[in-house]
Amino acid sequence: MAKLTVRDLNVRGKRVFVRVDYNVPLEERDGQMVITDDTRIRETLPTLRLLVEQGGRLILASHLGRPKGKREPSMSLRPVAARLADLLGRPVAFVDDCIGPKVEQTAAALKDGDILLLENVRFYPEEEQNDPAFAEKLAALAEVYVNDAFGSAHRAHASTEGVARVIARRGGPCAAGLLMERELKFLGEELENPARPFVVILGGAKVSDKIKVIDRLLEKADTLLIGGAMAYTFRLAQGYQTGKSLVEPDKVDVARAALDKAAARKVQFLLPVDDVVATPVETGQVDKKGRPVIAYQNPRVNTDPNCPPDAAGLDIGPATVKAYSDVIARARTILWNGPMGLFENPQFAAGTNAIAHAVAQATQTRGALSIIGGGDSVKAVNKAGLASQVTFMSTGGGASLEFLEGRELPGVAALSDKPSSGGSGS
């Protein structure tokens, strides 16, 4: 069922609670928290401008980071209010709380077209608990609910689900923002009946993360192209040696079942024919997140389906790049989720970059519809400077995956359905 969107609303003179995703990267410089990438703020501007033009009184809510239900100054949304004001070219008020008398007074004083940003909703543990009383307090601020935070729509939290339920119960409309509308269009409607050939490119570390997506897409796709570390679990299922590659031995049965399903449905299921391997060596150092830093020695192309015992597979090889690019060149619909290797390391980024270029070329030269399904794939396309040359890049990592799996997202389910157009004629 299609959801109500901001285009369907009349918000003049009304207070609108807008859930946005301003979970932006920040770093400290000279004692100030500075935004290092404002993409998520920019992506909400069309929705905000439309609501302002319609005369709405906007109350924006977001989370930032994981403050674990406590006030964490480094995760304040104050710097976001300043950046948003710059981008919109109009004042954005900020309150250093999201519930309470000060918030209520500021919200009540808003005039048509005014914008207020509330403090980080995750400063309260009740947000992630979807606490009904907390949701009631947030909902008391507004008469209309808009969700433009697809990246958080798979979470049943107070600001993503609870508030919508309260406002809907009072008879208020709950609508998708323009960004949310595009996500639902491209990840949902466009993939329902895709133009063929429909090619799905799946990468990333684990088969376990993607198996539900693989299972669902095997019912729709003409070809699946597999890369990343998860390819080695499939190789293990085929009886090959995987050396020191990242594998999930306990998922071999799952991988085998996927291969069998592909064969039964006559879906082309391509695994790498060559790869780039290297010998992992522990350095004794740890990164910022406390994980051991591994160095890779003697990177080389391996054309044997077995991985050398001392080596790990870290990227697809040139023959695989050529084979995959040829398939992509003929596609009419392309869905890409997950890199082809350890692309953060320049030594192992060639495969992912080549696939990004192949997808962009198919889009530009053949008019293929290309959908980049969130997370690392979006990073890879941005890194390659090709963002403007694909059709759509999802803003949701986990949300994109869950949606592609066919799961109902709480933040989407809570929105009002569009009235059906078949009237009774009375």
Structure token digits, residue 330: 């003929």
Provide CB contacts within 8 A for 394, sequence distance 6+.
150, 183, 186, 187, 371, 372, 373, 374, 378, 400
Q: Do 103 and 45 meet the contact criterion of CB atoms below 8 Å apart?
A: no
Residue 375 among the catalytic residues: yes
Tell me the residue ranges of DSSP E strands in 240-391: 268-270, 275-286, 292-302, 312-316, 333-337, 369-372
Beta bridge partners of 214: none
Nearest-angstrom CA–CA distance, 312 and 348: 12
Q: Which of 65, 383, 398, 418 is catalytic?
A: 398
Q: How far apart are CA 130 and CA 365, in angstroms?
A: 47
Catalytic residue among 14, 40, 182, 210: 40
Q: Is 398 a catalytic residue?
A: yes
Q: Is 40 a known active-site residue?
A: yes
φ, ψ of residue 20 to 5 degrees: the values are -115, 170
Distance, in Å, from the CA atom of 17 to the CA atom of 19, rounded to the nearest integer, reads 7
Per-position DSSP letters for 60-87, written without gaps between them:
EE---S--TTS--GGG-SHHHHHHHHHH
User: Residue type for 73, please?
Assistant: P
Q: What separation in angstroms does the CA of 17 have from each of 158, 160, 165?
A: 12, 11, 13
- Set 90, 206, 212, 244: catalytic member: 206
220 is catalytic: no
Using CA atoms, how far apart are residues 187 and 357, in angstroms rounded to an integer?
21
Q: Which of 151, 341, 375, 396 is catalytic?
A: 375
The residues annotated with a catalytic role in the active site are 40, 206, 375, 398
